[in-house]
Structure 1
Amino acid sequence: MFFVSNIKVTLDNGENVKAQTSNLSVTGLKLKISNDVHIKNDVQLSITFTGLKLEYSNNILKEKIAYKLLRQEKIDDNFSYFYLNYVDDKDEFITFINDFIKVNQHKYKIDVLYYYQIAKTIALKNSYLARMNTLPICLDVNAENAFLFTLKNKTNHSILSEWHCAEVDQLPIIFGQSRLMKYIKQSTEKYITTIYTCSHTIKGKKYFLSACEEELNEKGLKQTFINYGRSKKTWRVYHLTVTPYQFKAVNNLDITEVVPPIFDQVTHSATLQRLRISSPFSVQANADSHHVNQLIQFIHRSRIFLLRHPLHLCQKSSVRKNVIYIKVSLS
């Protein structure tokens, strides 16, 4: 309930600070406090409801109520909102707040900002994230294994399925290869390329091949790879965009949004989109066996990658840095 009343906040160091409530419920509290108060999230605070104590004679209002600081949001240069979670065990206080809200909720305005933020979050989750047909990928280019996780929904999950071969998720492997990461690290801003993939079966065993535009041009194998790959049922072409991750906290006072800790590792975000026109240019009808066998260098190694620490709407895999190429004949 949107409710403004004076309170006293006792910090973890014992200092008392005056503040005001902005929103009140049985599970938490939103308060408006001066920016002169600098504390970190996850700290326990004690709240004394000085305003309510003057209006009601209930003895529970004379006691300090324990709350935990979840997050902070800067309003302007003078004030911030603190979002607190109730962590005390005083049943009498919960009963009082519950009764107080039932009796008074018709007297007070709703918190427009609070409900706007909820509506925006729901809209992004259900209307945008749930329907985008590109596959977002988060990377840590400074780590040995750059691939962190993907954001999967009902629309883009088919892209992930296309990168499964021989019961192995092949997508993390391409970001674990130095040949692709070389181009990503060389780009100071946005990196855009085309990724070509297909699979090859020898004696009942499948091998997955992938290559980016730049390396195929450098090696002079673009025509050969496309001519060979497009003859396969598994032939796919993707548009890959990689940009530096630019999320910033709202200010420099340990104020953060509620995001999974793994996002602290993200240095770059990428999007992968399937292209329906697999080769919008002419290629040679045939390629000699010598050139085709050079495509062996683009084979992914055969190893099962374990899924660990899955996130909501996310898929995460681990991958080693060095790629083992399997010597097989493609002719």
Structure 2
Amino acid sequence: MSTRTGSGDVKQAVQDLLHDALARRASDVHLEPTGEGYEIRSRVDGMLKPIDRLDAATGRGYVNRLMVAAGLLTYHLDVPQEGQFRIELDTSAERVKALDLRLAIMPTTHGLRAVVRLPAELLQPRSLETLDLPAATYDILQHFAAADGGMLLMCGPAGSGKTTTIYALLEHIVQRSSGLSVISLEDPVERDLPGVTQIEVTPFGNLTYETALRSILRQDPQVLALGEIRDRATASIAVQAALSGHRLVSTLHAGSPEGAVVRLLEMGLEPYQVASSLFAVVSTRLLRRGSAEAGYAGRVPIAEVTSVTPAVRQALLAQGEAGAIRSAIESADGFVSLRAVAASLVHAGVTDEAEVQRALGG
């Protein structure tokens, strides 16, 4: 791929770049400074793919244009900056008059690095039915939507479909249970959810998850969604909310259900609190779909579900060790692991073994 020099209207060039990313169904566009200039890459189906190379002056012109659109300070070269901007883009289906994009700027040794996040609603499925979840996962989410209380945790690495699943679950609850008070605390808000009061928190500012959650509990909520449980204070409030009759769903950065449970214990929660409040843990990953024409095209979720069975409760209360909890999870009737779900998709020709190894390791 050769390096291009700038020509023509930078504003139009940036517009074309974003339109191309949309056509590729990209979630992000990266403008990365290097020793030779700028490399442009887009993230499609979770993987970064090279798109173009620009000389340094042209690349910086692209970054400046994005910063101006987002109202950022182009002369501040030594601090990170974040902003939003609105742009008109065409989709293949209809004219989209206004799309809100997020921009993040980071200074590096070679210049300013820019990442544009495209709107999630253009890529994310809107309902539980269209997520194509494994049957056991779909069933547990349906049961949670109708429950009286409890805490549902979504775990997995970044980009594994946790937020997409929570959004679909909240829309499912709103559509099927009118009159509920549903509130979400997010960092940041990914897309608008009609019927849900969405609050954007600032984890390192004044409106943190902890302060927002404490206040929200006095706002008469029935269903709560947290972008993430990050610390002991938030975990403690979340558990108390679940124990007092609220339905609460949150993400937790852990690689497995047993890892999620152990992390809650490491945050200082008592084993009996976790055992009594936890409705289920869903661990997710996304696999790229095989395509004879394009190698891979699109993604399909895999997931495993852990409920607090008597064996899991006993392991949690007795030791709280990951190995013992995992053994109890696997002993449950009907349990299907991530690898077993992935193997069924390989057998059905939906994906291949190389993609499973990429996502789950050897």
TM range (shorter): under 0.3
Q: So what's the TM-score if we normalise by structure 1?
A: 0.23
Q: So what's the TM-score if we normalise by structure 2?
A: 0.21
- Which structure dedicates a bigger proportion of its chain to helix? 2
Looking at both structures, which has the greater relative contact order when contacts are Cα pairs under 8 Å and sequence separation is at least 6? 1
